[in-house]
A and B are shown apart, each in its own frame.
Chain A
Amino acid sequence: MSDNNSIEIKDLKVAYGEVVVLENMNLEIGEGEFLVLLGASGCGKSTLLNCIAGLLDVKDGEIHIKGKNVTWEEPKDRGIGMVFQSYALYPQMSVKGNLSFGLRNAGVKKDEVERRVAQASEILQIEPLLNRRPAELSGGQRQRVAIGRALVRDVDVFLFDEPLSNLDAKLRADLRVEIKRLHQRLENTMIYVTHDQIEAMTLADRIAIMRGGLIQQLDTPYNIYNNPVNKYVAGFIGSPAMNFLEGTLTPGEAPVFTSGDLSIPMAGYGLTQTLGTAPMQGVTLGIRPEHVLFGDSASSAPFSREVVVEVVEPMGADTLVWAMIGDLSFRFRVEGQLQLRSGDKVTIGFDPARGSMFDAEENRI
Chain B
Amino acid sequence: MTKSIVTPRGQKPNRISAGRIILYSVLVVAAVYYLLPLYVMVATSLKDLDQVREGNIFAIPLRASFDAWVKAWDTACTGLYCEGLKVGFWKSVQITVPSVLASIAIASVNGYALSYWRFRGSEVFFTILIIGSFIPYQVMLYPLVIITREMGIFGTLPGVIFIHSIFGMPILTLLFRNYFAALPVELFKAARVDGAGFWGIFFQIMLPMSIPILVVAVILQVTGIWNDFLFGVIFAGTKNWPMTVQLNNIVNTTQGVKEHNVNMAATILTGLVPLTIYFVSGRYFVRGIAAGAVKG
Q: Is B208 an interface residue (CB 8 A)?
A: yes
**A337 at interface, CB cutoff 8 A:** no
Q: Which residues of B contact A53 (CB under 8 A)?
A: 189, 193
CB pair B190 A149 closer than 8 Å: yes
Q: How far is the CA of A105 from the CA of B199 in the complex (A)?
A: 12
Asked if A86 and B189 make an inter-chain contact with CB atoms under 8 angstroms apart, the answer reads: no
Most chain B beta carbons < 10 A, residue from A82, A91, A105: A91
Q: Give which listed residue, A76, A86, A135, contacts B186 with CB less than 8 A.
A: A86
Contact check, A87 vs B296: say whether CB atoms are below 8 A apart.
Answer: yes
Q: Give the A interface residue count (CB, 8 A).
A: 27
Complex CA–CA separation, A92 to B183 (angstroms): 13
A81, A82, A134, A149: the one contacting B189 at CB < 8 Å is A82
Do A88 and B295 touch (CB < 8 A)?
Answer: no
Asked whether A106 is an interface residue with its Cβ less than 8 Å from the other chain, the reply is yes
A91 touching B293 by the CB < 8 A rule?
A: yes
Contact of B296 among A55, A86, A105 (CB under 8 A): A86
Nearest chain B CB to A290 CB, angstrom units: 38
Q: Please judge, given known A-B contacts A89-B296, A92-B208, whether A76 and B184 are in contact too, CB under 8 Å.
A: no
Question: What 0/1 readout, one digit per residue, does chain B (72-89) give for beta carbons within 8 Å of chain A?
Answer: 000000000000000000
Q: Tell me the nearest residue of chain A to B190, going by C-beta.
A: A88
Q: Does chain B have a CB within 8 A of A232?
A: no
A117 interfacial by beta-carbon distance below 8 Å = no
Q: How many residues of B contact A (CB 8 A)?
A: 21
A101 within 8 A of partner (CB): yes
Counting chain A CB atoms within 10 Å of each CB, the highest count among B192, B194, B296 belongs to B194
A82–B295 CB distance below 8 A? no
A50 touches B195 (CB 8 A): no
Partner of A86, one of B184, B193, B293: B184
Beta-carbon nearest neighbor of B197 in chain A: A105
Whether the Cβ atoms of A80 and B193 lie closer than 8 Å is yes
Whether B37 is near chain A, meaning CB under 8 Å from some CB there, is: no
List chain A residues, Cβ under 8 A from B184. Answer: 86, 88
Expressed in whole angstroms, the Cα–Cα distance for A75 and B186 within the complex equals 14
Instruction: Let me know if B191 and A90 touch, CB within 8 A.
Output: yes
Task: Say yes or no: B189 contacts A50, CB within 8 Å.
Answer: yes
Across the interface, do A101 and B296 meet the contact criterion of CB distance under 8 Å?
Answer: no
In whole angstroms, how far apart are the Cα atoms of A87 and B190 in the complex? 9
Q: Does B256 contact A (CB under 8 A)?
A: no
Contact of B196 (CB < 8 Å), options: A54, A55, A101, A153:
A101
**Alpha-carbon distance between A153 and B193 when the two chains are bound, in angstroms:** 10
In this assembly, does B209 line the interface, its C-beta being within 8 Å of a C-beta of chain A?
yes
CA distance A56 to B241 in the complex (A): 52
Interface residues of A in 41-91 (CB under 8 A from B): 50, 53-55, 74-76, 80-82, 84-91
Is the pair A106, B187 in contact by a Cβ cutoff of 8 Å?
A: no
CB contacts (< 8 Å) of B190 on chain A: these are 82, 84, 88-90, 149
Q: Can you name 13 A-B pairs with beta carbons within 8 Å?
A: A55-B189, A55-B192, A74-B192, A75-B193, A84-B186, A88-B187, A88-B189, A88-B190, A90-B190, A90-B204, A91-B209, A105-B200, A149-B194
User: Which residues does B use to contact A, with CB under 8 Å?
Assistant: 184, 186-187, 189-196, 200, 204-205, 208-209, 292-296
